[in-house]
Amino acid sequence: MKNIVMLACLALLIVACQPSPQQPPVTILANAEIWQGADLAPQQLDIAIQSGKIIAIEKNLAETYPAATIIDHTGQAILPGFIDSHAHIHEFGQQALKANLVGAETVAEMVARMQAFFPNPTPGEWLIGQGWDEGKWAGKGYPDRQLLDEAFPDNPVRLQSLHGFAGFYNAKALEIAGINADTKDPEVGRIIRRADGSPTGVMETLAQQMVNQHIPVESLEQTKEAILAGLHKMKAAGVTMVHEAGMNPQVVQAYLELDEAGLLPIRVFGMLDGNNQTLMEEWFAKGPRVGSDRMFHVKGIKVFYDGSLGSRTALLFAPYSDNPRAAKMTERIAIADIQKLAVQAAEKGFQMAVHTIGDAGNDRILILYEQVLGEDAPNHRWRLEHAQIVRPDFYQKAAKGQYYVSMQSSHAVGDSPWAEDRLGAERIQHAYAWRNMLNANVPVILNSDLPGEPWTPIETLYFGVTRMRLDETPTGGWYPEQAFTLTEALEAMTTVPAKASFMEDQVGKIAVGYQADLVILDQAPWSLPAVELKNLQVKKVYLAGNPIVENH
């Protein structure tokens, strides 16, 4: 017995002498002004990070963690990483292969930019440009292809519009697609024609596919490269999470492979292309892809329902005010088919997110959501993408169902020169109506819808608070009574989109236990006049406590 006791004591002594397991290192971000959300005033605090998560937010944390690495951020501000809750990353990354047509006012300017980008094209090679504003052009008359034909007789040309609701093609592209004066319009979409019936080269909405289907298909590796290029640009701008708004099968596969290989630089909440029936059948069979250990989640379904206000294809209850004969209100998918999708989405645990611009479109989708979800609607967090024009009774209905309204501050300022012409003085009161939404307690998420208008989160923030363009016009803002406060805009770009992606207990806030997804700004936004918000600079970005961007 004595020997047994001695052996036990010896074992305890050996265990006691063993070195304790080494604790993961602690990093302290010190002396910055911290924004922790609407409920707390910004204040100068330290943030302690360990194993990718925030473990303390207090003053003088170096005393608590004497072995920590301390990074001084005096004079700077720390916010949760921005979440861009409606973006098209794949298309954004593809821009490196396209001529930039943003701001082009004439066809001659488009041609000049294309020639500068493609100085010596191989005959037969497709030449792609992107960014001409279909909304502005629709107001003065869509462009004609004559100059494109003369400049590029041997190359098919596709010029994508700013928001994707129109395409502009030259004669060679139309010839390849077999489109001429005798070609009939598709069921959804329109071929814009000259007086003699021949095509001008502009194709609206789904008519674009008549030409686009002849463009060589991108390889899976090229898709991956485009996605990574887009995500790295987002990362550099202070974005730590994006909602990819509509993924075709190849984009889904690219994301899956990038995630499995550990190559995604920031978090991605993926929305499937709900207009693709085959893709939806596949994912309804296997269900959502979620998990805290994954950078890529698949839980959303993005459905394209109506068109756009600029091209006069959005669904309105009453005719367009400025040129009703030029309008072609468009349903890209039948409401009955959306209903079927919605029923399956509710059963399988997917989130619906429907692109709907016009007041009639928004009303129909609200009714559909109510029919499918009933009183259980708030638990599903379904979304309306854009909700640009609504009826006065929209706000109460959306608030009751706690449907997330996904809005773009750049759209309001970008569309301001012509939006009231399209709608008239009465309907414009319920267009781009952010304040109306917030006052009714509708959850609003604020995002870029890139590629297109100015897209960085700093620009999105500035537009949301000022309702002015970057040149500070119109003076005082366009319908400034609909603007966000700074705090509301920050919440709509961090906390609220985190909840919209079912990750509110992990990201979107600076709080103990949360992932240390953070953005460091050179100045505190709350200390600046609103017009100076656009000058804020991103100095550093952390994802799960790791610095992923450092700007000096």
pLDDT tens column, 454-479? 999 999 999 999 999 999 999 999 99
pLDDT tens column, 325-381? 989 999 999 999 999 999 999 999 999 999 999 999 999 999 999 999 999 999 999
pLDDT tens column, 151-180? 999 999 999 998 888 999 999 999 999 999
Neighbouring CB atoms inside 10 A of 481's CB total: 11
Nearest to 441, CA basis, from 396, 484, 406: 396
Report residue 226's pLDDT band, with 50, 70 and 90 as the boundaries.
Answer: very high
Q: What percent of the chain has pLDDT over 90?
A: 88
Assigned CATH topology for domain 219-517 = TIM Barrel (3.20.20)
How far CA 412 is from CA of 44, 381, 483, in Å, comes to 35, 24, 10
- Average pLDDT of span 486-515: 98
More confident residue, 447 or 2: 447
CATH number of 89-212, picked from 3.40.50.300, 3.40.50.1820, 3.10.310.70, 1.10.10.60: 3.10.310.70
Distance from C-alpha of 73 to C-alpha of 526, rounded to nearest angstrom: 17
Nearest to 416, CA basis, from 360, 353, 466, 356: 466
More confident residue, 278 or 20: 278
Distance from C-alpha of 474 to C-alpha of 151, rounded to nearest angstrom: 37
- Average pLDDT of span 238-263: 98
User: CA angle, 494 as apex, 133 and 381 as ends, to 5°?
Assistant: 85
pLDDT tens column, 256-265? 999 999 999 9
pLDDT at residue 101 tops 70: yes
Report residue 137's pLDDT band, with 50, 70 and 90 as the boundaries.
Answer: confident
Which pLDDT score, from 0 to 100, does residue 7 have?
45
- Which H helix or E strand runs over 56? strand 53-58
How far CA 130 is from CA of 38, 137, 155, 158, 499, in Å, comes to 39, 14, 16, 8, 33
Neighbouring CB atoms inside 10 A of 257's CB total: 15
Structure token pair of residue 173:
């592209």
How far from chain centre, in Å, is Cα 53?
A: 26
Report residue 521's pLDDT band, with 50, 70 and 90 as the boundaries.
Answer: very high
More confident residue, 40 or 148: 148
Which pLDDT score, from 0 to 100, does residue 188 have?
86
**Where do the domains of the chain lie?**
2-82+546-550, 89-212, 219-517
In sequence order, what are the residues at sequence separation of 6 or more whose Cβ sits closer than 8 angstroms to the Cβ of residue 173? Answer: 126, 156, 157, 158, 201, 211, 214
- Average pLDDT of span 45-66: 97
Which pLDDT score, from 0 to 100, does residue 163 have?
81
pLDDT tens column, 483-492? 999 999 999 9
More confident residue, 137 or 383: 383
Q: What percent of the chain has pLDDT over 70?
A: 96
Distance from C-alpha of 433 to C-alpha of 431, rounded to nearest angstrom: 5
Distance from C-alpha of 306 to C-alpha of 332, rounded to nearest angstrom: 6
- Average pLDDT of span 527-533: 97
Strand order in the sheet with 190-193: 99-100, 127-132, 157-161, 166-169, 199-204, 190-193
Lowest mean pLDDT among 11-25, 206-220, 260-274, 288-302: 11-25
Question: What are the residue ranges of helices labelled H in 78-132?
Answer: 89-94, 107-117
- Average pLDDT of span 496-517: 97
Say which CATH superfamily domain 2-82+546-550 falls into.
Answer: Urease, subunit C, domain 1 (2.30.40.10)
Structure token pair of residue 330:
């468009």
Which pLDDT score, from 0 to 100, does residue 86 have?
98
Report residue 13's pLDDT band, with 50, 70 and 90 as the boundaries.
Answer: very low
| Cβ-contact 167, 107 below 8 angstroms | no
Using the structure block, give the residue that is written with the tokens 């010839």.
Answer: 175
Distance from C-alpha of 223 to C-alpha of 298, rounded to nearest angstrom: 18
Residue 296, classed as helix, strand or coil, is strand
